[in-house]
Structure 1
Amino acid sequence: MNRTAEAPAGARLPVLDRLLPVWIGVAMLAGLLAGRWIPGLGAMLDAVAIDGISLPIAAGLLVMMYPVLAKVRYDRLDTVTSDKRLMVSSLVLNWVLGPALMFALAWLFLPDLPEYRTGLIIVGLARCIAMVIIWNDLACGDREAAAVLVALNSVFQVIAFAGLGWFYLAILPAWLGLPGVALEVSAFEIAKNVVIFLGIPLIAGYLTRKLGERTRGRDWYETRFLPKIGPLTLCGLLFTIVVLFALQGEAITANPLDVARIALPLLAYFTIMWAGSFALGKALRLSYERTATLSFTAAGNNFELAIAVAIATFGVTSGQALAGVVGPLIEVPVLVGLVYVSLAVRRRFTSPVPPTEHVPAP
């Protein structure tokens, strides 16, 4: 996937990136149709799993994330961790405002559909640790900041997910006089999800850069090696989307009205979280790159974890699981659209990153 962070604010995106919504739309449609029309495809893909982890989805995500994490300059991570405004803002947005907003929207839009409402609340609790890296890279965000904030989300996901699930699904509804449900999820299961979907590509990316720079130098690594592995990101993204929608194609196409009801609060959630985070970043006088990173890490969700928790707790055919499945159906096109919105407003930032901050384009 082409990197455009070095281009002027008004520059046009490369052809591949400008047509990304087309590729994603085709992949979503192909997956839906394949899952609906090819007998047994969904069951076959679902059966290729180890300890509840879908191997096709895991493979697609790992291939998708590896090139982006290999581009990160790990020797510059201290410039991110020292930015207290960014770190505190990300924690508040992800672990205070995000879950609270999804809880409010779920009850506002789905007061009569408790299964879907619960599924959406679970989606709101699962903060993004995977695809957000792709949206951030497309929007020319800060790669190092994205790596740090995603790692931070991962730590808090292991520590806080179960507790927040208990609070938002049982305690808070009881305080408000609303019906609640119980959520059973172990910290081990969440940690396993984090290790597979973030830990493996993060370690691979770090070791690739360290060994590549040590043996051939940074110039070779960034101008020769990274361009060769860059296309893997798009391939992994499209493959993941096809598999994901093939797995759930029948459920989605068989319940179009339910999908539409679930989609409305999701659409509101992604838009509000992104726009609010972007406005906060600008108000804090963060650079465009870090504002974009803050916005996408706050707006995205870990649909892999949300779906896994919903299925484990309520069953594969439950309304909670369907709500989790609809999550990426809405998130993928909405956040791709917000990438283009982000690039369009980039010119309003009057303090560009110094030339030394730029990473050569693969």
Structure 2
Amino acid sequence: MPDALVRRLSFIDRFLPVWIFAAMALGIGLGRAFPDIGARLDTVKLDTVSLPIALGLLWMMYPVLAKVRYGELGRLRSRGKLFGVSLLLNWVVGPVLMFVLAWVLLPDLPHYRTGLILIGLARCIAMVLVWNMLACGSNELAAVLVALNSVFQILFYSVLGWFFITVVPGWLGAEGAAFDVSMWSIARSVLIFLGVPLVAGALTRIGLTRLKGEEWYEKTFLPRLGPTALLGLLYTIVLMFAMQGEKITRLPLDVVRISIPLMLYFVIMFASAFFLSRKLGFSYEETASLSFTAAGNNFELAIAVAVGVFGMASGEALAGVVGPLIEVPALIALVYLSLWLRRRLFPESESVVLPRRLEGARPE
């Protein structure tokens, strides 16, 4: 990361990877020390997700969505080319790439392979907003792209799951797996984990700007609210890894096998989206938003579907659990890479959007 940017970050932001790795280690340690912690946390659920984790997901997204300037969303309606690129990356390139990587690298492990395919089809609707914010992308554009992916996810996840898991393997002369998940189960997940914080964020901005004014909201309220998104992220990571720590440590070689295609997927998707966006002349803020929405995945949905269709103890579910283990450090690394590429490829953006703090202070 450029030295100038490092000096302008807060203490929390400067050591963000340290906090995230510490949260992962703490979660795995808790899972090993208290093997029944997963069952206890899972006793109460919101939709198909453990209630303590669901609360973390909702809070993690709320501060990010409260930062979106919803009055500016109308200006994005004319960006047909940008939306077309996003749909191509998310619903053609991403699923096909994950399918290819899964079959090439896990030909002898069909359960893990199916789990990876489910991940490739679950486009990100949660953490991508945090990664985009940290990379100084456009919050407004990211919110629109997430909403667009959510609609496509409701309409096509079941169809594409059936196609890639049962139909295409048959064309390749292999036996496919049974796949049955309703459109409503996906819609319910999207409505809860995107809709609730989206409405809360919009109402917060509208209500407080009318009451206190835009300047107070941007310069006083958001700098106080913004850091809590990171707390929500760390809390969620601790609980996710606590619930699955025993599996992760009991099958280390399987985790490594699953991790390789995941890591390749994140790097290839991000690099393809970033340089395609640059080639098409998009700004840095647009490029970052496109790249992170293309590279991120909705592991909550993938895990919920894998558990519902194949069972909690299945290889498909374990593949879903390994996903965040790889995604979190990978996407954090890509945040730093994105900021470094901004300096190299978008020098004009440095003087315009370089924030004092990654958690959301507006550029002066």
TM range (shorter): over 0.9
Q: Residue 277 of structure 1 corresponds to which residue in structure 2?
A: 273
Check the 8 A contact 1:146/1:297 in 2, yes or no: yes
Alpha-carbon displacement from aligned partner over 1:42-71 (angstroms, at most 9, x marks no partner): 110111214423111110011111111101
- Answer with 79-88 or 138-147: which moved more: 79-88
Check the 8 A contact 2:273/2:290 in 1, yes or no: yes
The answer on 1:352 being equivalent to 2:353 is no
Which of 76, 83, 87 does residue 80 from structure 1 map onto?
76
The answer on 1:57 being equivalent to 2:71 is no
Check the 8 A contact 2:49/2:300 in 1, yes or no: no
The answer on 1:263 being equivalent to 2:264 is no
Q: Distance in 1 between matches of 2:312 and 2:36?
A: 16
The answer on 1:177 being equivalent to 2:173 is yes
Alignment of 1:193-342 (within 5 A): 193-342=189-338
- Answer with 169-178 or 192-201: which moved more: 169-178
Q: What is the CA-CA distance between 1:179 and the residue it aligns to?
A: 2.0
Check the 8 A contact 2:47/2:189 in 1, yes or no: no
What stretches of structure 2 of length at least 5 have no aligned partner? none
Q: What is the CA-CA distance between 1:230 and the residue it aligns to?
A: 1.4
Alignment CA distance shift 1:319-1:341 (3 Å): same
Name the SS of the counterpart of 2:42 in structure 1: helix
Name the SS of the counterpart of 1:77 in structure 2: helix
Alpha-carbon displacement from aligned partner over 1:290-319 (angstroms, at most 9, x marks no partner): 101100000000000000000000000000
Alpha-carbon displacement from aligned partner over 1:332-362 (angstroms, at most 9, x marks no partner): 0000000000001112214439959998539
The answer on 1:31 being equivalent to 2:32 is no
Q: Residue 362 of structure 2 corresponds to which residue in structure 1?
A: 361
What stretches of structure 1 of length at least 5 have no aligned partner? 1-6
Check the 8 A contact 2:161/2:179 in 1, yes or no: yes
Q: Distance in 2 between matches of 1:268 and 1:112?
A: 19
Q: What is the CA-CA distance between 1:249 and the residue it aligns to?
A: 0.7
Name the SS of the counterpart of 2:349 in structure 1: coil
Q: Distance in 1 between matches of 2:197 and 2:47?
A: 19
- Answer with 228-237 or 12-21: which moved more: 12-21
Check the 8 A contact 2:47/2:188 in 1, yes or no: no
Q: Residue 89 of structure 2 corresponds to which residue in structure 1?
A: 93
Paired residue type of 1:101: L
Check the 8 A contact 2:342/2:349 in 1, yes or no: no
Alignment CA distance shift 1:360-1:258 (3 Å): closer
Alignment of 1:103-114 (within 5 A): 103-114=99-110
Alpha-carbon displacement from aligned partner over 1:270-329 (angstroms, at most 9, x marks no partner): 000001100111001100111011000000000000000000000000000000000000
Check the 8 A contact 2:63/2:225 in 1, yes or no: yes
Alignment CA distance shift 1:317-1:10 (3 Å): closer
Check the 8 A contact 1:60/1:237 in 2, yes or no: yes
Name the SS of the counterpart of 2:137 in structure 1: coil
Q: Distance in 2 between matches of 1:12 and 1:109?
A: 42
Q: What is the CA-CA distance between 1:268 and the residue it aligns to?
A: 0.3
Q: Distance in 2 between matches of 1:63 and 1:50?
A: 14
TM-score using structure 1 length: 0.94
Q: What is the CA-CA distance between 1:15 and the residue it aligns to?
A: 2.5
What is the count of residue pairs matched by the alignment? 357
Q: Percent identity?
A: 59
Paired residue type of 2:166: A
Q: Distance in 2 between matches of 1:12 and 1:346?
A: 16
The answer on 1:124 being equivalent to 2:120 is yes
Check the 8 A contact 2:136/2:353 in 1, yes or no: no
- Answer with 170-179 or 54-63: which moved more: 170-179
Q: Distance in 1 between matches of 2:118 and 2:150?
A: 16
Alpha-carbon displacement from aligned partner over 1:174-219 (angstroms, at most 9, x marks no partner): 1222221121111111011101110000000000000111111100
Check the 8 A contact 1:169/1:180 in 2, yes or no: yes
Q: Distance in 2 between matches of 1:350 and 1:233?
A: 28
Q: Residue 142 of structure 1 corresponds to which residue in structure 2?
A: 138
Check the 8 A contact 1:287/1:351 in 2, yes or no: no
Q: What is the CA-CA distance between 1:94 and the residue it aligns to?
A: 0.3
The answer on 1:14 being equivalent to 2:15 is no
Name the SS of the counterpart of 1:352 in structure 2: helix
- Answer with 79-88 or 339-348: which moved more: 79-88
